[in-house]
Amino acid sequence: MTETTIPPKRPLEPHPRAIVVGASSGIGAALTKELVRQGYVVAALARREEKLNQLCETVNAAAAAGARALPFVHDVTDFEAIPALFQEIVQQLNGLDLIIYNAGVMPSVALDEFDFAKDKQQLEVNTLGAMAWLNQAAVRFQQTGSGHIVGISSVAGDRGRVGNPAYNTSKAALTTYLEALRNRLSRHGVQVTTIKPGFVDTVMLADAKTTFGVISP
């Protein structure tokens, strides 16, 4: 009688783990869907709870075994909450491989309007929120010697245009910050990627007739 040899079981490779900040719609939602499709476990963060939960339910219904999106309701301007939330997420994911900062706002601004409240909101969400989140990831990735940081900036930061000076400023600052992170972290084996989309058909640009001057001459 021939003896059957059963091959030893191989341990399951862990799913890659990601955080997407600003995940409930537009580019962030598309990235969350694609990452889960690729087998990631994704911590999806956004301010709008209902839209975030809908996204995660839709994504998880089509996900392969083990891959999934986990919703975390969060306002990126709550800077003091970020360190503890980052640690909580990393613990739940059992590590971290990738973080994408996509959160952003661009309120409609008239050509003769100078509204500091709108300016402040854009800098807090588009730039300071990114720094608060990505600094946390930078510390962890520098310690582990691996990881990938991605920031969604914009071509709007390449020049000072008349449409929305604060938005241009916030994205220019984000691009420079990411470049500095890249220069700091590359020697530690950490990747830093800056993505600068042009005009994208998203909810944020729904009133494109009044905001298109932000990204065109």
Helices (H), 43-156: 49-61, 82-93, 116-122, 129-144
Give the amino acid at 66. G
3-state secondary structure of 97: coil
Q: For residue 163, what pLDDT is reported?
A: 85
Predicted local confidence at residue 105, as pLDDT: 96
pLDDT tens for the chain, 217 residues long, are 455 555 454 445 589 999 999 999 999 999 999 999 999 999 999 999 999 999 999 999 999 999 999 999 999 999 999 999 999 999 999 999 999 999 999 999 999 999 999 999 999 999 999 999 999 999 999 999 999 999 999 999 888 888 899 999 999 999 999 999 999 999 999 999 999 997 655 555 545 445 544 444 4
Q: ∠ at Cα 160 (154, 166), nearest 5°?
A: 70
Dist CA 208 CA 43 (whole Å): 30
Interatomic CA distance for residues 29 and 20, integer angstroms: 9
Rg of the chain over all Cα atoms, to the nearest angstrom: 20
CATH of domain 14-104: 3.40.50.720
pLDDT of 20 reads: 99
Domain ranges of the chain: 14-104
Q: Which of 83, 84, 88, 133 is nearest to 70 (CA)?
A: 88
Active site residues: 167
Locate 37 and state its tokens: 């499709």
Token pair for 5 = 């040899």
